[in-house]
Amino acid sequence: MKIFVDSANLVEIEEALRRGFPAGITTNPSLMSKEDRTDFKLHIKRIIKLCERYDRKIPLSVEVFTADPKAMVKQATEFVAEFGEYEGLNVKVPIGWDELAVIRELKTRGIRVNCTCCMSFNQAIMASAAGADFVSLFFGRIRDIGYDARAVVESVHRVFKERSVPSEIIVGSIRHICDINDAFMAGADIVTVPPQFFRQMVSHPKTDEAVNQFLNDFKKWSPPVRRAGAVTERFARAHVVRSVASSRALPTIFGNYSVRSGIFMFEADNGRKLWHYKSSQRTGGN
């Protein structure tokens, strides 16, 4: 069970890497096109730099952006020339009849392949039979046309496991947080998740409730914390008059105090705010 980041956005990718859970990253030409216009190779190199900075040499899927099989092989070779030092590089090739030959060719050249845009059981088994390291099933798009995406993942998972097929199943095209649960429950090895779902995945109202209750209970139970520079109320009352006289001593004695129109405001260690009118020498507190 692995979670990939389905994004080409550097900020989102770094946010996730900083938290240690990503086991891979998937990009595609549409995700790239959502980023500020820049040199494609430069952008991918920035993603690789981020992975290296967090010492996560995780699989990074970079998709060919041509429909011509010959050009796909050429692009894949260029990717290897540009990014090949990054051991996690995987070239994404969409499923198709001629694309199977591309997959075969890339595997022959020792290039790792993520066969993408698979919507059916048959596409998945053909992709893996051609040698794809990853087979990407598009959950949301399968559902778009009324097919039971979960059943597709289940059937591919069952056959891959029963026949010890080495290809790993990536489920992508996630549209709703429940798709992530359904995909894993159906047997996905990997779910590639758009970052907008990450916070939701770790949030639960009962978690907030429990944490708040624990902290409040502990705060009520534990003795009042003496703040640095804060003085006890008794000390404050005893010394307020004298220290006001020689205001030089105030900072050392009271740490945080303020003076507004002749009213000295002090904060004792129990959080009570004390005030003293210099003119009337009256002292009080809330």
Cβ-closest residue to ligand E4P? Answer: 172
CA 121, distance to chain mean position in Å, is 30
H or E element, residue 284: strand 283-285
Select 31 or 165, whichever has its Cβ closest to ligand E4P. 31
The CA distance from 140 to 173, in Å, is: 5
Nearest distance in Å: CB 28, ligand E4P? 4
Cβ at position 30, least distance to ligand E4P in Å: 6
Give the footprint of ligand E4P on this chain (CB under 6 A): 6, 26, 28, 30, 116, 136, 138, 140-141, 172-173, 192
The catalytically annotated residue of 2, 34, 41, 92 is 92
Supply the DSSP symbol for 268.
B
Provide, rounded to whole angstroms, the least separation between the CB of residue 199 and ligand E4P. Answer: 19
Question: Helix (H, G, I), strand (E, B), or coil: what is residue 196?
Answer: helix
User: Alpha carbon 18 to chain centroid distance?
Assistant: 8
Q: Which residues of 118-127 are buried (b: 16+ CB within 10 A; e: fewer)?
A: bbebebbbbb
Nearer to ligand E4P, 22 or 172 (CB): 172
To ligand E4P, the closest distance from the beta carbon of 111 in angstroms equals 17
Rounded to an integer, what distance in angstroms lies between the CA atom of residue 132 and that of residue 185? Answer: 23
- For ligand E4P, the closer of residues 106 and 240 by Cβ is 106
Q: Count of residues for the chain?
A: 286
Q: Let me know if 92 is a catalytic residue.
A: yes
Catalytic residue numbers, as ranges: 92
